[in-house]
A = this chain, B = another copy of it.
Amino acid sequence: MPKAPKPVKPSARVRNEAANTPVKPLGSAEAFADLPRGEHAYQEIRRAIRQRRFRAGDRLREVELAESLGLSRTPVREALYRLLADGLATEHGQRGIMVAEFDHSMVGELYVMREMLEGMAARLAAQMASEVEISLLTELGAQYAALVKSGRGAELAEKNRQFHEALYRCAHNRFLLKMLDPLHDALGLLGDSNLADPARARANAVEHAAIVDAIARRDAEGADRLTRAHIHEAHKARVKRLFAPGGKS
């Protein structure tokens, strides 16, 4: 089939030639693992949302993203579908996809779910966790507590996340894990962490310790109850923040 011979051999897996796209502000093109492009796009957009470089309600235009990431629309679309499935983005008819927005009632629903799911995770952890897993939990709890005194907000939030994720894993339930993950992401959309408030950060440490203790004692009921209370407090703190400042969304 005679056809204009494409002179530029795409040379396949060249990742970052910056070939024709002069702009790519999003990309972080640096720490560029050799992931499939679709995966890369997903990670990158997700990160941007988590870091609040994209805010709730922002439009996610395929072409724009593709350009800024230096790839074509196809992998970007893959990423967008995944985001959609995670609930991190919503489809707006023919107006495209945008970062999810949560109204007030949704925030409530979100925390209700989280309260229950984390409670369940703790309950299961009390039943299922191995000794090594429990000592890991203990350690993470201690590290968090240490950071409360010295560390800054970002590190604190990260350690907190690690603690909770470890807790989820101790439940040994893949489905639970799959459900909690997007829930956290959604929460992340709501704004800065509660832990910026020192009082809350301190209380957090105490509550963590109590939960780990219950799990170590194999007290499923207690672990469940304490964890629910823990999330409930977080919910209260969140609502307070949401009302206090110029609480967006």
Report which A residues bind B (CB closer than 8 A): 1-4, 77-78, 81-82, 85-87, 106, 109-110, 112-113, 116, 120, 124, 172-176, 178-179, 183, 186
Chain B residues whose CB sits within 8 angstroms of the CB of A2 once the complex forms: 4
Contact check, B81 vs A173: say whether CB atoms are below 8 A apart. Answer: no
| Known contacts A109-B172, A109-B176, A116-B116; 16 further A-B pairs (Cβ under 8 A) | A3-B3, A3-B4, A78-B81, A81-B81, A81-B82, A81-B85, A82-B85, A87-B175, A106-B174, A109-B173, A109-B174, A109-B175, A112-B173, A113-B173, A113-B176, A175-B186
Give every chain B residue within 8 A of A77 (Cβ-Cβ).
78
Q: For A113, what are the chain B residues with a Cβ–Cβ distance below 8 Å?
A: 173, 175-176, 179
Which B residues are CB-close (under 8 A) to A110? Answer: 175
Shortest C-beta distance, A115 to chain B (Å), equals 10
- Minimum CB–CB distance for A71 against chain B, Å: 16
Smallest CB gap from A111: residue in B? B175
Which of A3, A120, A183 has the most B CB atoms < 10 Å from its CB? A120
In the complex, residue of chain B having the shortest beta-carbon distance to the beta carbon of A38: B81
Quick one: which of B4, B86, B179 contacts A85, CB cutoff 8 A?
Answer: B86
Closest to A94 in B: B36
Q: Is there contact, CB below 8 Å, between A1 and B4? A: yes
The 10 A-B pairs at the shortest CB distance, nearest first, are namely A85-B85, A81-B81, A113-B175, A109-B173, A179-B179, A116-B120, A109-B175, A1-B4, A109-B174, A78-B81
Contacts of A120 in B (CB 8 A): 116
Residues on B with C-beta less than 8 A from A174 are 106, 109
Q: Does the CB pair B112–A124 fall under 8 Å?
A: yes
